[in-house]
Amino acid sequence: MLFHKIISTGLGIGYIGKGAGTIAAIATCLCWYFSQTIYTNQYLWPLLITLFLTLLGAISADEVEEEWGKDHQRVVIDEIAGMCITLIGIPLKPVYIILGLILFRFFDILKPFYIRKMEALPGGLGVMADDILAAAYSSILLQIIISLELF
């Protein structure tokens, strides 16, 4: 159980309390940026890590739900995975990463366009699904912004 608490809280970020999801998303952006400047293959490894985090997040969120309840505020692995999904395939420029963060948090907090309905899915799947959909919307919108060269 300790392992799942560590994973689901994003190495403890979830214990911060209010705003932990935003802090986890910001930390993810920083890790994303700095890790990609080190590695040369900027497409395969981010995709594999994102898939791994998403699957592990669903399992860990499911495990801690028994003790903490459905989608507890301490669980931020969904924001971490969602932020990674948002940034897959995005050029490694700070302005795009910041725009991705803003878009993702917008969709994740307001939950428009069926995002809220995804929370009703059972267990860890429901915890992760709303953030996956918020990330998909964010990524699509960010790709449009980039292709139109608005920034």
**Placement of tokens 């915890």 in the chain:** 127
Output the pLDDT for position 35. 85
Neighbours of 121 (CB within 10 A): 13
Output the pLDDT for position 104. 98
Question: Domain residue spans in the chain?
Answer: 2-147
40: burial class by Cβ within 10 Å (0-12, 13-18, 19+)?
exposed
Is the full-model pTM beyond 0.75? Answer: yes
In this prediction, residues 121-150 reach a mean pLDDT of: 95
Residue 126, both tokens: 């429901």
Output the pLDDT for position 41. 61
Tell me the C-alpha distance between 150 and 7, whole Å: 36
* Amino acid making up residue 62: D
Measured torsion, CA atoms of residues 91, 49, 98, 103, in degrees rounded to the nearest 10: 110
List pLDDT tens digits, range 24-80.
999 999 999 988 877 656 678 889 999 999 999 999 999 999 999 888 999 999 999
Output the pLDDT for position 70. 86
